[in-house]
Amino acid sequence: MSRVAEDWYDSASVRTRPRRMLDEDREAGLLVFPEHLVPHLRHEGVTGLGTDARRALLAQHFYQYMYFTTHLETRVVNRGTSLIAHGQVDLTLDARTRLDAFKIYCDEGYHALFSLDVVQQVEKSLGIPALPFDFEPRLARLERTAATFLPDHGSLAQLLQVVAFETVVTRFLAQIPRDPTVFRVVREAVDDHVKDEIHHHAYFVKFFKEIWASLSPALRVQVACAMPHFVNDCLRPDLGPVHSALLSVGLSPELTPAILEDCYREEVLTATVRESGRHTLRLCESVGAFDLPQAREQLDLLGL
Ligand SMILES: [Fe+2]
Ligand SMILES: [Fe+2]
């Protein structure tokens, strides 16, 4: 059965790492987030803006990423891990797997806590308040996929959503802790997060294989068709918050749609999903999920 680190009590961030604090002296000359990870900062409609507006856009992008994390951890990932911990799944789970699910639950709760903590510290230090963040479009997308492919299997769908989020690998995230241009407090917080996620990844790879082995042939078809969509749902960025950020620095409502179109072109978004989702897609492939023609059709449909 699936395992989290044997030494969780002595290695998990929530058990061993200090609270990450922003110290303005340590951050002098650094940026809150890597500029190269914010596509719209390179757009000609944005490059001409003043320093304050560009700093605000960078800060909002950082806030959105951290807010996204807080929502994802508590509303999607921990929704699924608590099902596992309580044994509310159609699988025979051993005692250890259930206990490990609560370890992940604690990890994710802590990730949400320190993400919000760092946002609040950064807001205060920069004097740039975060815009409101709306997670509902993402939840709606996940629900839509669940309703389309697994209409009678709500909790299985919620578990697969967790498998998708916990096994995709966004390479840029792993680079932040080593990026010398970025706020130290941000590098430290992201490093704490990435270290825990390595263990979660391994747990959910095993967990998915066990789920798959337990499925009837009919349900396998449904799951195989749903997985590419869940990967797409979790990786495709929501552009609503970017739109709000552009408006907040004074760009006109007429100009912003064109900036979004230029910076987030369909083929670029699809390539990102393919690249960051490759581990999850390979995991599905490894169990034979994509040998099913119906699943291949869904992959083609999404360009994956
Ligand atoms: Fe996490
Ligand atoms: Fe996780």
* Cα-to-centroid distance, 269 and ligand 2 (Å): 23
SS3 label, residue 282: helix
Candidates 163, 160, 136; CA nearest to 148 is 160
Task: Give the mean pLDDT of 186-213.
Answer: 96
Beta partners for residue 182, in sequence order: 31
> In the chain, where are the structural domains located?
30-302
* Cα-to-centroid distance, 268 and ligand 1 (Å): 26
- The predicted pLDDT at position 275 comes to 95
* Cα-to-centroid distance, 221 and ligand 1 (Å): 29
- Among the bound ligands, the one closest to the CA of 81: 2
How many helices (DSSP H) and strands (DSSP E) are in the chain? 16, 0
Q: What percent of the chain has pLDDT over 90?
A: 94
Residue pointed to by tokens 């994802």:
72
* Cα-to-centroid distance, 174 and ligand 1 (Å): 13
- The predicted pLDDT at position 92 comes to 87
- Among the bound ligands, the one closest to the CA of 71: 1
- The predicted pLDDT at position 71 comes to 97
Q: pLDDT tens digits, residue range 197-206? A: 999 999 999 9
* Cα-to-centroid distance, 166 and ligand 2 (Å): 5
Does residue 84 register a pLDDT over 50?
Answer: yes
* Cα-to-centroid distance, 281 and ligand 1 (Å): 20
- Among the bound ligands, the one closest to the CA of 173: 1
Does residue 171 register a pLDDT over 90?
Answer: no
| Banded pLDDT at 2 (limits 50, 70, 90) | very low
Are residues 34 and 186 in contact, defined by beta-carbon separation less than 8 angstroms? no
Does residue 1 register a pLDDT over 80?
Answer: no
Total residues belonging to the chain: 304
- The predicted pLDDT at position 36 comes to 93
| Banded pLDDT at 43 (limits 50, 70, 90) | very high
- The predicted pLDDT at position 3 comes to 61
**Whole-number average pLDDT of the chain:** 95
* Cα-to-centroid distance, 165 and ligand 1 (Å): 9
Task: Give the mean pLDDT of 99-104.
Answer: 97
- Among the bound ligands, the one closest to the CA of 109: 1
CA distance 168 to 237: 14
* Cα-to-centroid distance, 29 and ligand 2 (Å): 32
Q: pLDDT tens digits, residue range 60-76? A: 999 999 999 999 999 99
- Among the bound ligands, the one closest to the CA of 198: 2
| Banded pLDDT at 169 (limits 50, 70, 90) | confident
Q: Which helix (H) or strand (E) holds 73?
A: none
Q: pLDDT tens digits, residue range 249-296? A: 999 999 999 999 999 999 999 999 999 999 999 999 999 999 999 999
Class of domain 30-302: mainly alpha
* Cα-to-centroid distance, 31 and ligand 2 (Å): 26
SS3 label, residue 31: strand
CA distance 46 to 63: 19
* Cα-to-centroid distance, 70 and ligand 1 (Å): 9
Does residue 174 register a pLDDT over 90?
Answer: no
pTM above 0.75, yes or no: yes
- The predicted pLDDT at position 214 comes to 95
* Cα-to-centroid distance, 28 and ligand 1 (Å): 28
